[in-house]
Amino acid sequence: MYGRNATLPNHIDGVGHWVVLFSLGNNCTFNAGTGKVGDNRMQPNQPVDSFTFRSGDALVFNGDPAHVAIHGLYRVHNDTSPAGLPR
């Protein structure tokens, strides 16, 4: 759960299994990308794509270190949650 002004720097989990993220509430700008295979450390300025992660969306990726799945929360877009959800 992330608050209205939350961010989460780009990182690599390296958990060794699948990761499932759900967005419920406000939309956010989310970053995702990949580093060099075999290098599970974050390097400065590794390229990522940004997209709007909307309420109701799910993101699934392989969190094994070999996949080098970079991801992070750039910013939350306040007051964008669907009608009927708590603000």
Mean pLDDT of the chain: 85
Domain total in the chain: 1
Domain assignment present for residue 81? The answer is no
State which residues form the domain around 63: 8-76
Tens-place pLDDT, residues 35-58: 766 665 666 567 789 999 999 999
Domain assignment present for residue 68? The answer is yes
Domain assignment present for residue 63? The answer is yes
Domain assignment present for residue 14? The answer is yes
Domain assignment present for residue 30? The answer is yes
Domain assignment present for residue 87? The answer is no
Domain assignment present for residue 57? The answer is yes
Average pLDDT over residues 5-22: 88
Average pLDDT over residues 17-30: 93
Average pLDDT over residues 57-80: 90
- DSSP assignment of 12-57: E---SSEEEEE--SS-EEEEEEE--TT--S--TT---EEEEE-TT-
